[in-house]
Structure 1
Amino acid sequence: MINDEVLSIILGGGQGSRLYPLTADRAKPAVPIAGKYRLVDIPISNCINSDIKRMYVLTQFNSASLNQHIKNTYHFSFFSSAFVDVLAAEQTMHSDEWFQGTADAVRQSMHHFLQNDFKYFLILSGDQLYNMDLEDMIEKHKESKAEITIATHPVNAKDATGFGLLKTNEENVITSFIEKPGSDLLPDWTSEVSDEMKHEGRHYLASMGIYIFNRDLLVDLMSNPDTNDFGKEIIPQAIHKHKTLSYQYEGYWTDIGTIDSFFEANLGLTDDIPKFNLYGENRVYTRARILPTSKISGTTINNSVIADGCIIHAAKIERSVIGIRSRIGKNSIVQNTYTMGNDSYESLADMESKHIENLMGIGKNCFINNCIIDRNCRIGDNVRIEGGAGLKEAETDQYFVKDGIVVIKKGATIPKGTEIK
């Protein structure tokens, strides 16, 4: 079944500089998460689970790997109208500029969208981790006869200053909006939330950057070339002219915009009861790889997630996410680490023919803590990497240190005996 009334637009974001070096050669939605997925799989899966199967992903930076992932992953029936298409910024007769913001990205791509028959635009972010019933949000939009619906999330005072905040009336219609208010203004911006949210001190409604627009209205709003961003311009200008509904979502939701938030979101999956549930009825879809089961020998594993196709001889793995095709050598200890794994297997014969000393993966007798290891890295024997709050920020050709987290760059080689601490 396909919801033919809705067209979904997934915003791939800008250059993703706050996620550097993970975005050095890939678009933000293509960054690997949870050992086997990509960030873009989250909004796409939310759409599929809600019977929304016509999707465009907008991007302009390093889109090759994103294109490849979507091409290899999302195949619908030949007789279906379902699709997931990537639209990169392009020069046209009407514009020769790159996307200037979220709204401008939609404006420049509008001629592609309007080739489809639909009633509602659903606009999603490509860098958030959540599991939402988008179908229910659409039904609430239709029932209330709203022209715009904004998904909102209750937040506490500490987080509120980093979001656009909304105020609503008793019918959940938005009456006012402020972008990232100072803490001195917060007392005037509390909203009615559930008792559970009140108990957690989450009294403020933050915009999640998830919107529903009636088709004709968004086409009309896009006619103004001076508005480039939804959160900063379109929404504040529209709420006083068009009926705008708040759809309050109280489940798990996090914006993965920084290395620290990305790291914590991934390690959070190792909790006994993770806030983001990969094991529920709402599946997260990704590329179907034909990989063998993981092989683990002599390893103590605690609160960790192990993806398919791994070969592990480590002494201990604790609170870590181990990505596809990872290899970890004997007597190594891996703690509080996300290793993304490898794109292919490498044999000893391959190493000898290429005169490579280190196999892709983590070598023997290593100690790795507070670390992100990107794809296809080679960590030599006896390497010690100790991230932590006291570690100074730094960057070399092989690694990057931010917020106490050591990020080993994609394809990097860390020679045997190296210490990063």
Structure 2
Amino acid sequence: MAHKVVSIVLGGGRGTRLFPLTEQRSKPAVPIAGKYRLVDIPISNCLNSGYNKIFVLTQYNSASLNQHIKNSYNFSIFSKGFVDILAAEQTLEGDRWFEGTADAVRRTQKNLVNVDYDYVLILSGDQLYQMDYSSLIDFHVENGGDVTIATIPVNGKDATGFGILKANEINEITSFTEKPDSEEVLNWGSEVSEEMQHQGRLYLASMGIYVFSKGVLRKMLTENPGMDFGKELIPDAIESQKVLSYQFDGYWTDIGTIRSFFDANIGLTDDVPDFNLFNETVFTRARMLPPSKISGTTLNNTIVADGCILNGDKLERSVIGVRSRIGKGTVIKSTYMMGGDHYEDLEEVITLGNTQQPPPIGVGERCYIENAILDKNCRIGNDVRIKGGIHLSDGDFSTHTIRDGIVVIKRDAVIPNGATIGC
């Protein structure tokens, strides 16, 4: 049976742990896999699940996210589907920013009045996974839940970084703790599948994905002044509502840090990746770009998006984004190059050659780049060496940032000919 569902994608806050990728954009707007944005993941999961009534709540650095959604998700005039942006706004009820996930939903509830729905699906805009939400909704309805939380089994080490839930044999959540320490977590095991037991994944972590029955959500937001679902409303609901755990055993990662973002992207180049781009459709903006042109380049476990001009010597275990340009003799390994927002005049690039200042957008000739993220529109000259690794200390500089051994070249940064970073 098809259920009437409205989805709310939370746009996130400042995303400081993803700096400098979030210096000029919100977390959900960060490019991923060479051609998508993080927000495309939950929206695509909704559309693939048959749910096409979607609100995206935005606040911090929201211009590029708003533009992406406007240019990507346009339904037929005969469809009742929509992907609408709800921004934090000044009203007679208040003039402050959203102060948490629950606060954001509470203050935008008035926009749901004209939508026909029975269940509210609340999603994060900065996670990488594929899920059939219709199975989640079916589970919620069939088990008579007031609230259902999608959970994923994790091991004891990872559990210390999540909100951990304890569920009984009929999937009812009985208690909750936020980021327990390594000793405390030993008391928080739950019923999990045999496969998860064998992997030592005995603890149920909240994925930040919630289903609320319509009246329950309204009641909770009215009676509980808390600002955050995970820290305040959910623990309170466990005491008064029927709160269920829906165990998900597929691939899921929270894109919260530079390292997790880097690993998620480079992991896409595996022969059989955990996140399969070739399985369910991931929707995004339809760009009218030419095919990529590759001349004399050896490619190994590399994803190449549309509109690239690649003349490098070797690309290995890397993701190359739209409109990327790589010069002759260049070697790139374990790197995510986001590409460019526009093309420069190719004849001018060829004519000026080594004399163009600043260097053209892209990577020049005879460069070596490894363990790096190259943000949009950066200009890397010729004979540049960039090498990330555990030998590097964290730091923020004018053109780049180093986090967890990853060198992140900032958006629009210029790296001059012959520069060396991390070597």
Q: Secondary structure at the match of 1:406?
A: strand
TM-score (norm 1): 0.97
Question: Is residue 155–residue 204 contact of structure 1 (8 Å, CA) maintained in 2?
Answer: yes
Map 1:88-167 onto structure 2 (within 5 A).
88-167=87-166
Query: Which residue does the alignment assign to 2:273?
Result: 274
Q: Give the Å deviation of 1:138.
A: 0.3
Query: Which residue does the alignment assign to 1:234?
Result: 233
Question: Is residue 168–residue 190 contact of structure 2 (8 Å, CA) maintained in 1?
Answer: no
| 1:22-62 Cα deviation digits (max 9, x unpaired) | 11111111000000000000000000000110111112111
Kindly indicate whether residue 59 of structure 2 is the aligned counterpart of residue 60 of structure 1.
Answer: yes
CA distance in 2, matches of 1:224, 1:60: 25
Kindly indicate whether residue 339 of structure 2 is the aligned counterpart of residue 341 of structure 1.
Answer: yes
What are structure 1's unaligned runs of at least 5 residues? none
Kindly indicate whether residue 417 of structure 2 is the aligned counterpart of residue 419 of structure 1.
Answer: no
Q: Give the Å deviation of 1:362.
A: 0.3
Question: Is residue 3–residue 53 contact of structure 1 (8 Å, CA) maintained in 2?
Answer: no
CA distance in 2, matches of 1:348, 1:275: 37
| 1:187-224 Cα deviation digits (max 9, x unpaired) | 21111111111111101111100000011111111114
| 1:103-153 Cα deviation digits (max 9, x unpaired) | 001111111122312111100000000000100100111111111000000
Q: Secondary structure at the match of 1:263?
A: helix
Query: Which residue does the alignment assign to 1:86?
Result: 85
Q: 1:396–1:84: structure 2 CA closer, same or farther, 3 Å change rule?
A: same
CA distance in 2, matches of 1:5, 1:373: 42
What are structure 2's unaligned runs of at least 5 residues? none
Question: Is residue 3–residue 52 contact of structure 1 (8 Å, CA) maintained in 2?
Answer: no
| 1:50-109 Cα deviation digits (max 9, x unpaired) | 011011111211111111101111111101111111111111100111011110011111
CA distance in 2, matches of 1:333, 1:139: 50
Question: Is residue 156–residue 186 contact of structure 2 (8 Å, CA) maintained in 1?
Answer: no
Map 1:311-350 onto structure 2 (within 5 A).
311-348=309-346
Query: Which residue does the alignment assign to 1:400?
Result: 401
Runs of 4+ in structure 1 deviating by more than 6 angstroms, as ranges, are: 352-355
Query: Which residue does the alignment assign to 1:17?
Result: 16
CA distance in 2, matches of 1:20, 1:76: 34
* Among candidates 304, 307, 310, match of residue 305 of structure 2: 307
Aligned length: 419
CA distance in 2, matches of 1:258, 1:89: 25
CA distance in 1, matches of 2:409, 2:333: 15
Question: Which residue identity does 1:398 align to in structure 2?
Answer: T
TM-score (norm 2): 0.96
Kindly indicate whether residue 184 of structure 2 is the aligned counterpart of residue 204 of structure 1.
Answer: no
Q: Give the Å deviation of 1:349.
A: 5.2
Q: Which moved more, 1:79-88 or 1:362-371?
A: 79-88
Sequence identity percentage: 59
Question: Which residue identity does 2:206 align to in structure 1?
Answer: S
| 1:375-395 Cα deviation digits (max 9, x unpaired) | 011100000001100112222
Q: Which moved more, 1:122-131 or 1:386-395?
A: 386-395
CA distance in 2, matches of 1:172, 1:150: 10
